[in-house]
Amino acid sequence: MSREKLVVVGQGYVGLPLAISAVEAGLDVVGLDVDPTRVRQLGSGRSFVEDIPDSRLAAALATGRYLPTGNYADAKDFDVCVISVPTPLRDGVPDLSFVEQAGTALGPYVRPGCTVILESTTYPGTTEELLRPLLEQGSGLRSPGDFHLGYSPERIDPGNPTWRLENTPKVVSGIDAAALARVDAFYRRIVARTVPVDSTRVAELTKLIENTFRQVNIALVNELAVFSRELGIDVWQAIEAAATKPFGFMSFTPGPGTGGHCLPIDPCYLSWQVKRRLGRQFRFIELAGDINHAMPEYVAQRVMAGLNARGRAVNGARLLLIGLAYKKNTGDLRDSPAIDVANRLRALGARIRAVDPYVDPAQVPAEVAVVELTEAEVRAADAVVVVTDHDGLDYDMVARTAGYVFDSRNRCSGPAVERL
């Protein structure tokens, strides 16, 4: 009896953990990716995703049941295919070209009885209105009837040691009851708990609700941080005090902006769909986006003002940024506010050096020198700017050694520290 064959289109922060977990669950897995460099890297046992160490990738390769490839012909005779490709914004409009390319390329390999699942974050209706016609056209089959189609939003949190793919509840859906049953049965082999919903549109909206909730609440505390400073109130202490309430409150903290694929992008899918379908504005989302997008500029202006108060111009100043990734304990630079902060300070004439033990220096802008966190580096800096608060760094040394610290993450304390 042959093993079930899974194809995962996209071997990034979402697709790679799914592919490796499926191998460990006993499936034959084809990991498709259009980036030949990534395919070669994975084939040689080198992972670029923190949640998948090289040892785990090597173990999957050693089974002979994981094939990284860029050739869609390797998808032939699949039982299940999961599409986990990027869905960026282009000039504020959802760009589903990667989903379209995947659906078109996959269509000829769709066969009776197989299951296709979209995981990419998108607006409600994408699975049925965009992906289904592409698969039907390429295969000559119909869904429902000939093959099964569903949607399951990804809930990957890179760098989170507690909540991983396997123990995070997985929302599942299908375009009919039979498809839902197939999608649910597939994920039950990999995750501890599934959460079935009535339609793909509900599942698509679920993901947007999750990230819109975060975007709006982060915007709230970011604006609170700006106004609290002007009112002479310690916003960090107020948030900590509020967090002691055991009901009716969830703690969010300010920062230099939002990054990654989810928060700067996903809520815009919802507001775009509301405007397209209903002709109305989703005001909460648009306001939250404006506030969070403005934070890197606010941080840059605060650093400049802090230097001026100490008799030092930002033009020509040597600045040391701590953290470049958008999220602590990861190397993910996608839409990182730290890069935005660095570019804005550099545009003001500052010389930028940065500490980040997680990022690949080759992915960092050439104008930013990546260095180790040492007392000499801290002492030589006119200002140290804490942008991404990776664990394991010596913040006490930074606060003790630096002449001026601007801390956007509340990790340092002392007379030289100014907080967001």
Q: Which of helix, strand or coil describes residue 195?
A: strand
**Spatial distance between the Cα atoms of 310 and 283, rounded to a whole number of angstroms:** 40
- Angle, helix 200-231 to helix 283-309, in steps of 10 degrees: 30
Do 392 and 226 form a contact (C-beta atoms < 8 A)? no
Cα gap 232→210, rounded to integer Å: 33
With CA atoms as reference, report the closest residue to 389 among 181, 162, 228, 159: 159
Closest CA to 395 of 411, 373, 383, 384: 411
Cis (ω within 30 of 0) for the bond into 68? no
In angstroms, the CA 141 to CA 135 distance is 8
- Rounded to whole angstroms, the Cα distance separating 389 from 353 reads 16
Q: Residue 381: which residues within 8 A CB-CB, separation 6 or more? A: 318, 319, 320, 353, 402, 403
The set of residues, in sequence order, having a beta carbon less than 8 Å from that of 328 and lying 6+ positions away, is: 159, 388, 389, 390, 391
Q: How far apart are the C-alpha atoms of 408 and 235, rounded to whole Å?
A: 12
Residue showing tokens 């909730």:
213
Catalytic residue among 81, 114, 262, 268: 262
Distance CA 307, CA 353 (A): 16
Contacts of 279-287 with C-beta under 8 Å, sequence gap 24+, read 284/212, 284/216, 285/212, 285/215, 285/216, 287/219
**Size of the chain, expressed as the number of residues it contains:** 420
Q: Which residues pair with 171 in a beta bridge?
A: 195
Active site annotation includes 81: no
Decide the pairing of beta strands 93-94 and 89-90: antiparallel
Where in the sequence numbering do the catalytic residues fall? 262
